[in-house]
Structure 1
Amino acid sequence: MQAVEANAALGVLAARLAGAGSAAERVAGFEAAYRHVAEWRYQVAVQGEWTRPGASADDVRETIGDGGYMRYRLTPGSGRREPGSPAWKLLSELERVALKRLGREQQVQNVVTLRDGTTVNGNQLHLVAAPRDRETGATFPGHPDYVATQTATYANREVLRRASFEALAELEGLRAAGTADVRDPAQRQAFVDAAYFLVQGPEFRRGSDAIMRTFLVAAHARVFDRAPVLPHAIDLDGMVRGQDAFSQVMRDQLRVLPSADESGLAATGADRAPRDRGVRRTGGIAR
């Protein structure tokens, strides 16, 4: 399902970027592909797929509005996260990272450096203290302290999402000039920056992780003509680890699959489904 949509988004990019002669046109092309993926994610929810208990399809279309934010609890132990499960292990690791960054503080502000060197505030990490017994100071059973992420402000998320499209447009300019090269460390870093900015700028109350990952796969395939396999849970990595550590994770774990000339197989890595799922290339990313 995700591979089909990644191919569709790649088609949007091909149509919108054909003959694009300015940076603004290239930015608009990537935003159009992003919007296509966002609409796809909403329609998936309408069909009853990938909705959490108690959530609705409308949550996938509802934006995190001006003055609003979303928190995501890192401390495992709720819902379907069974001890020892992959989700439990992942959240436990990221909780340790967050606690180390927090140190003795109750809050950490991620500061994002854009491609031009300017900075903007991204998301925050919080240590949320649980209610305590007034006499003993102990937390109540089943209600421990926990670590949570909190999205950036609406205005900053708009800036960060735009910065992602601009970084991809920069790479599209190199592609148009015939100089895009997935082996070039600077160009790979430009893609990593685009991924980080997008992770820092979620738009919707639900579904942003699938939207980001599917869109980034299509964007990478467009600018480098190679489908990537993204590291697992890059949305949480980006919110918890900070920019430098996120870049290191991407340098260590981002894989690029063989081109169509080198292999008949590709994979999208487009969401938290099992990775490395081989699917036959048919002129797009994968089908």
Structure 2
Amino acid sequence: MMTSVDPAVADQLRGFAAVQAAEAGAALGVLDRDLAGAGSRAERVAAFEAAYGHVAQWRYQLAVEGKWVRPGASAEDVRARIGHGMNYRLSPTVGPRQPGSPAFKYLTELERVALDRLDGRHELQNVVTLRDGSKVNGNILHFVPAPGDEATRRLFPDEVQTQTAGPEDREVLRRAAFETLAELEELKADPANPAHRRAFADAAYFLVQGPEFKRGSDAIMRTFLVAAHARVFDAAPVLPQAIDLDGMVRGQDGFHQVMREQLRIVPEPGTADVTAANATRATKATRPKGLSR
């Protein structure tokens, strides 16, 4: 369970969550517009790609305006593509995180999951199963042991990292996400149907495994997925906490379990409010007035 959040941090999270909710509504408008005349699978895929592009441009514009940019990052990082690959640190003891904070506790849990999956190895290749049963390489988990001497180990302890998939595989995975969402659109998906829910979880996992930009991909993916869920299920979701990290660390089966247990439907449409307790977990989107399913 999440512990209390510093009031200043909570205010900041609420602000960003509200901005994400507004953009999810705008991206949903793009989907409604483009899908209204879509007559083929390719046109439906293109509609989801366009909505994703809309969200990516929104995140870049926020960065240009100096809003919600991480320390040490620039606006150009938000639209710079990852290239060959990029590593992310998972170990909570490496970096400026405070022991006992929600972020520290969450990363501690993910580090344990990663180490369990590594099972003594220094490297684990995640393999993603696509909807047709074919396989593609996803991200890689790494265990980086601390240097040998004790003094250096105190400064540089053991560390777990995740490395993104290669550029060709990431492109395949993003495309698979859009294709899966287009399939759900054709089916007029039912949120009570387990197969349809699993297909959406697959789409989310493919997207998480195929990040495109050096910075901002988590917000882009989360906001886009809220809009996509609202479109294909006609219901706004509350997404699990930090699905990007869950997807990179837990593997496909573990990610599906998180989605089954934590994804929720917003019970009453018409609100984009996010409480302080929920601000670190999700955004909520509403269908823009005047746009029909």
TM-score (norm 2): 0.87
TM-fit CA distance, 1:255: 0.3
Work out the CA distance in 2 between the residues paired with 1:104 and 1:89. 22
Superposed, 1:238-277 pairs within 5 Å as 238-258=247-267, 260=269, 264-265=270-271, 273-275=279-281
Work out the CA distance in 2 between the residues paired with 1:206 and 1:265. 28
Work out the CA distance in 2 between the residues paired with 1:26 and 1:211. 20
Between the two proteins, what is the percent identity of the paired residues? Answer: 68
Corresponding residue pairs, total: 271
Distance 1:209 1:280, change over 3 A: closer
Higher helix share: 2
TM-fit CA distance, 1:141: 1.9
TM-fit CA distance, 1:52: 1.5
Q: Which of 14, 29, 33 is residue 11 of structure 1 equivalent to?
A: 29
Q: Which residue of 2 aligns with 1:130?
A: 146
1:195-253 Cα shifts (integer Å, max 9, x gaps)? 00000000000000000000000000001110000000110000000000100110011
The yes-or-no answer on 1:27 pairing with 2:45 is yes
Q: Secondary structure at the match of 1:216?
A: helix
Q: Is the 8 A contact 2:138 2:164 kept in 1?
A: yes
Over aligned residues, Cα RMSD in angstroms? 2.1
Q: Which of 140, 147, 164 is residue 151 of structure 1 equivalent to?
A: 164
Letter in 1 for 2:117: R
Q: Which residue of 1 aligns with 2:68?
A: 50
Letter in 2 for 1:116: D
Work out the CA distance in 1 between the residues paired with 2:87 and 2:282. 30
Distance 1:208 1:227, change over 3 A: same
Work out the CA distance in 1 between the residues paired with 2:274 and 2:231. 13
Q: Which residue of 2 aligns with 1:181?
A: 190
Work out the CA distance in 2 between the residues paired with 1:117 and 1:171. 17
Letter in 1 for 2:223: T
- Structure 2 residue runs of 5 or longer lacking an equivalent are 1-18
Work out the CA distance in 2 between the residues paired with 1:112 and 1:44. 32
Q: Secondary structure at the match of 1:242?
A: helix
Q: Which residue of 1 aligns with 2:219?
A: 210
Q: Secondary structure at the match of 1:141?
A: helix
Work out the CA distance in 2 between the residues paired with 1:130 and 1:19. 57
The yes-or-no answer on 1:105 pairing with 2:121 is yes
Q: Secondary structure at the match of 2:154?
A: coil
Letter in 1 for 2:173: L
Letter in 2 for 1:108: L
Work out the CA distance in 1 between the residues paired with 2:197 and 2:223. 18
Work out the CA distance in 1 between the residues paired with 2:284 and 2:72. 33
Q: Secondary structure at the match of 1:53?
A: coil
Q: Which residue of 2 aligns with 1:283?
A: 289
Distance 1:49 1:95, change over 3 A: same
TM-fit CA distance, 1:77: 2.4
Q: Which of 113, 125, 130 is residue 114 of structure 1 equivalent to?
A: 130
Superposed, 1:158-173 pairs within 5 Å as 158-173=171-186
Q: Is the 8 A contact 1:217 1:268 kept in 2?
A: no
Between 1:29-38 and 1:52-61, the stretch displaced more is 52-61
